Protein backbone atom coordinates (compact mmCIF):
# COMPACT_ATOMS: atom_id res chain seq x y z
CA UNK A 1 0.00 0.00 0.00
CA UNK A 2 2.81 2.41 0.87
CA UNK A 3 5.87 2.90 -1.28
CA UNK A 4 9.05 3.06 0.73
CA UNK A 5 9.93 6.51 1.88
CA UNK A 6 13.27 8.27 1.68
CA UNK A 7 14.68 10.77 4.16
CA UNK A 8 17.16 13.48 3.13
CA UNK A 9 18.53 16.32 5.24
CA UNK A 10 18.22 19.80 3.70
CA UNK A 11 19.67 21.39 6.82
CA UNK A 12 22.07 24.28 7.39
CA UNK A 13 23.35 26.40 10.28
CA UNK A 14 23.54 23.36 12.60
CA UNK A 15 19.87 22.54 12.18
CA UNK A 16 18.35 19.59 10.35
CA UNK A 17 15.46 20.07 7.93
CA UNK A 18 14.23 16.63 6.98
CA UNK A 19 12.71 15.99 3.58
CA UNK A 20 10.56 12.88 3.84
CA UNK A 21 9.43 11.60 0.45
CA UNK A 22 7.14 8.92 -0.87
CA UNK A 23 8.10 9.21 -4.51
CA UNK A 24 7.48 12.86 -5.41
CA UNK A 25 5.09 13.35 -2.50
CA UNK A 26 7.24 15.37 -0.10
CA UNK A 27 6.85 16.35 3.54
CA UNK A 28 9.20 18.82 5.24
CA UNK A 29 9.92 18.36 8.96
CA UNK A 30 11.21 21.67 10.33
CA UNK A 31 11.21 24.78 8.27
CA UNK A 32 14.37 26.89 8.37
CA UNK A 33 15.74 29.91 10.18
CA UNK A 34 13.99 33.25 9.60
CA UNK A 35 15.23 35.16 6.59
CA UNK A 36 17.02 32.15 5.06
CA UNK A 37 14.74 31.24 2.18
CA UNK A 38 17.60 31.58 -0.36
CA UNK A 39 19.70 29.06 1.64
CA UNK A 40 16.75 26.69 1.91
CA UNK A 41 15.99 26.97 -1.81
CA UNK A 42 19.67 26.34 -2.64
CA UNK A 43 19.80 23.22 -0.47
CA UNK A 44 16.55 21.83 -1.88
CA UNK A 45 17.87 22.45 -5.37
CA UNK A 46 21.15 20.71 -4.52
CA UNK A 47 19.31 17.57 -3.38
CA UNK A 48 16.96 17.68 -6.36
CA UNK A 49 13.71 18.46 -4.54
CA UNK A 50 11.47 21.05 -6.22
CA UNK A 51 9.66 23.26 -3.72
CA UNK A 52 6.33 22.62 -5.41
CA UNK A 53 6.54 18.89 -4.59
CA UNK A 54 6.04 19.58 -0.88
CA UNK A 55 2.54 18.64 0.21
CA UNK A 56 3.01 20.07 3.72
CA UNK A 57 5.62 21.57 5.98
CA UNK A 58 5.55 20.83 9.71
CA UNK A 59 7.47 22.47 12.57
CA UNK A 60 8.31 20.08 15.41
CA UNK A 61 7.87 23.18 17.59
CA UNK A 62 7.58 26.92 17.12
CA UNK A 63 11.11 28.09 17.85
CA UNK A 64 12.82 30.22 15.24
CA UNK A 65 15.34 27.63 14.03
CA UNK A 66 12.51 25.15 13.37
CA UNK A 67 9.65 27.28 12.05
CA UNK A 68 11.31 30.48 10.83
CA UNK A 69 10.30 30.04 7.19
CA UNK A 70 6.75 28.84 7.82
CA UNK A 71 5.14 31.84 6.16
CA UNK A 72 7.59 31.88 3.24
CA UNK A 73 6.71 28.24 2.52
CA UNK A 74 3.00 29.09 2.67
CA UNK A 75 3.58 31.99 0.30
CA UNK A 76 5.36 29.56 -2.04
CA UNK A 77 2.28 27.29 -2.01
CA UNK A 78 3.31 24.78 0.67
CA UNK A 79 0.61 24.48 3.36
CA UNK A 80 1.66 24.62 7.00
CA UNK A 81 0.55 21.56 8.97
CA UNK A 82 -0.19 22.52 12.58
CA UNK A 83 -1.07 20.15 15.40
CA UNK A 84 -3.78 21.14 17.86
CA UNK A 85 -1.20 21.64 20.63
CA UNK A 86 0.81 24.10 18.53
CA UNK A 87 -1.76 26.72 17.62
CA UNK A 88 -1.10 28.99 20.62
CA UNK A 89 2.68 28.89 20.13
CA UNK A 90 2.66 30.39 16.62
CA UNK A 91 1.91 34.02 17.59
CA UNK A 92 4.58 33.82 20.32
CA UNK A 93 7.30 33.30 17.68
CA UNK A 94 7.56 37.03 17.04
CA UNK A 95 8.59 37.63 20.68
CA UNK A 96 11.81 35.68 20.11
CA UNK A 97 13.13 37.37 17.00
CA UNK A 98 15.09 40.56 16.39
CA UNK A 99 14.37 42.84 13.42
CA UNK A 100 17.67 41.72 11.89
CA UNK A 101 16.35 38.15 11.74
CA UNK A 102 13.90 39.23 9.01
CA UNK A 103 11.20 36.93 10.39
CA UNK A 104 8.06 36.94 8.29
CA UNK A 105 5.27 36.43 10.80
CA UNK A 106 3.20 33.29 10.31
CA UNK A 107 -0.43 34.29 9.87
CA UNK A 108 -3.44 32.21 10.88
CA UNK A 109 -4.61 32.18 7.25
CA UNK A 110 -4.52 28.89 5.41
CA UNK A 111 -2.92 26.74 8.11
CA UNK A 112 -4.03 23.10 8.17
CA UNK A 113 -4.79 22.44 11.83
CA UNK A 114 -5.35 18.82 12.82
CA UNK A 115 -5.84 16.74 15.94
CA UNK A 116 -3.22 14.09 16.77
CA UNK A 117 -5.88 11.44 16.12
CA UNK A 118 -6.11 12.65 12.51
CA UNK A 119 -2.37 12.51 11.85
CA UNK A 120 -2.22 8.91 10.62
CA UNK A 121 -4.78 9.49 7.89
CA UNK A 122 -3.13 12.77 6.91
CA UNK A 123 0.26 11.09 6.54
CA UNK A 124 -1.39 8.23 4.63
CA UNK A 125 -2.71 10.80 2.15
CA UNK A 126 0.95 11.66 1.46
CA UNK A 127 1.87 7.99 1.00
CA UNK A 128 3.54 7.82 4.42
CA UNK A 129 2.74 5.23 7.05
CA UNK A 130 3.02 6.72 10.54
CA UNK A 131 1.60 9.18 13.01
CA UNK A 132 2.35 12.42 14.81
CA UNK A 133 2.59 12.33 18.60
CA UNK A 134 2.66 15.04 21.27
CA UNK A 135 6.15 14.95 22.82
CA UNK A 136 6.37 17.91 25.22
CA UNK A 137 9.50 18.47 27.27
CA UNK A 138 11.67 20.91 25.30
CA UNK A 139 8.50 22.98 24.84
CA UNK A 140 4.78 22.41 25.38
CA UNK A 141 4.11 22.52 21.64
CA UNK A 142 6.75 19.93 20.66
CA UNK A 143 5.59 17.07 18.48
CA UNK A 144 7.34 14.09 16.91
CA UNK A 145 6.66 12.42 13.57
CA UNK A 146 6.93 8.65 13.97
CA UNK A 147 6.98 6.48 10.86
CA UNK A 148 5.94 2.85 11.14
CA UNK A 149 9.47 1.65 10.28
CA UNK A 150 10.66 3.16 13.58
CA UNK A 151 12.09 6.40 12.19
CA UNK A 152 11.16 9.30 14.44
CA UNK A 153 11.67 13.06 13.99
CA UNK A 154 12.01 14.44 17.49
CA UNK A 155 12.92 18.10 17.05
CA UNK A 156 14.66 19.30 20.21
CA UNK A 157 13.40 16.68 22.66
CA UNK A 158 16.54 16.33 24.82
CA UNK A 159 18.12 13.00 25.74
CA UNK A 160 16.81 11.80 29.11
CA UNK A 161 20.30 12.18 30.58
CA UNK A 162 20.10 15.94 29.94
CA UNK A 163 16.50 16.37 31.07
CA UNK A 164 17.21 17.06 34.74
CA UNK A 165 13.98 17.54 36.68
CA UNK A 166 11.86 17.71 33.53
CA UNK A 167 9.58 14.67 33.86
CA UNK A 168 7.82 15.44 30.59
CA UNK A 169 10.96 14.51 28.65
CA UNK A 170 11.15 10.96 30.03
CA UNK A 171 7.42 10.53 29.49
CA UNK A 172 7.71 11.65 25.85
CA UNK A 173 10.53 9.14 25.22
CA UNK A 174 8.44 6.43 26.90
CA UNK A 175 5.54 7.21 24.55
CA UNK A 176 7.82 7.12 21.50
CA UNK A 177 9.39 3.83 22.52
CA UNK A 178 5.99 2.32 23.25
CA UNK A 179 4.86 3.32 19.76
CA UNK A 180 7.83 1.61 18.14
CA UNK A 181 10.44 4.34 17.65
CA UNK A 182 13.92 2.96 17.03
CA UNK A 183 15.88 5.55 15.03
CA UNK A 184 16.06 9.23 15.96
CA UNK A 185 16.24 12.02 13.39
CA UNK A 186 16.84 14.99 15.70
CA UNK A 187 16.55 18.72 15.03
CA UNK A 188 20.30 19.07 15.61
CA UNK A 189 23.12 16.55 15.34
CA UNK A 190 23.41 13.14 13.74
CA UNK A 191 20.89 10.36 13.33
CA UNK A 192 21.14 7.99 16.30
CA UNK A 193 19.53 4.80 17.53
CA UNK A 194 16.90 4.97 20.27
CA UNK A 195 18.31 2.60 22.82
CA UNK A 196 16.01 0.76 25.20
Minimum CB distance to Zn ion smaller for 32 or for 130: 32
Using CA atoms, how far apart are residues 117 and 64, in angstroms rounded to an integer? 27
CA distance 47 to 149: 23
Q: Which one, 137 or 187, has the nearer CB to Zn ion?
A: 187
Site map (CB under 5 A) of Zn ion, residues 120-159, x = contact = ------------------------------------x---
Could you tell me whether strands 80-83 and 54-58 are parallel, antiparallel, or unpaired per DSSP bridges? parallel
Q: Select from 195, 191, 182, 173 the least CA-distant residue to 147.
A: 182
Q: How far is the CB of 8 from Zn ion (least distance, A)?
A: 19
Stretch that binds Zn ion, among 30-38, 74-82, 145-153, 182-190 (CB under 5 A): 182-190
For Zn ion, which residue of 30, 65, 72, 131 counts as binding (CB under 5 A)?
Answer: 65
In 10 A of CB 165, how many CB atoms?
A: 5
Comparing CA positions, the residue from 123, 126, 171, 129 lying closest to residue 150 is 129
Please count the residues of this chain forming the interface with Zn ion, following the rule CB under 5 A. 3
CB of 174 to Zn ion, least distance (A): 22
Residues that bind Zn ion (CB under 5 A): 65, 156, 187
Amino acid sequence: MFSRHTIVNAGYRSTNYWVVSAGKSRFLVDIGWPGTMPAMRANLSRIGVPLDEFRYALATHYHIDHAGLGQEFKNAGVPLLVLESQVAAIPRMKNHVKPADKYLEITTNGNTIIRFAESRSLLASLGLSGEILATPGHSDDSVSVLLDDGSVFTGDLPPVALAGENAAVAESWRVLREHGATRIYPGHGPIRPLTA
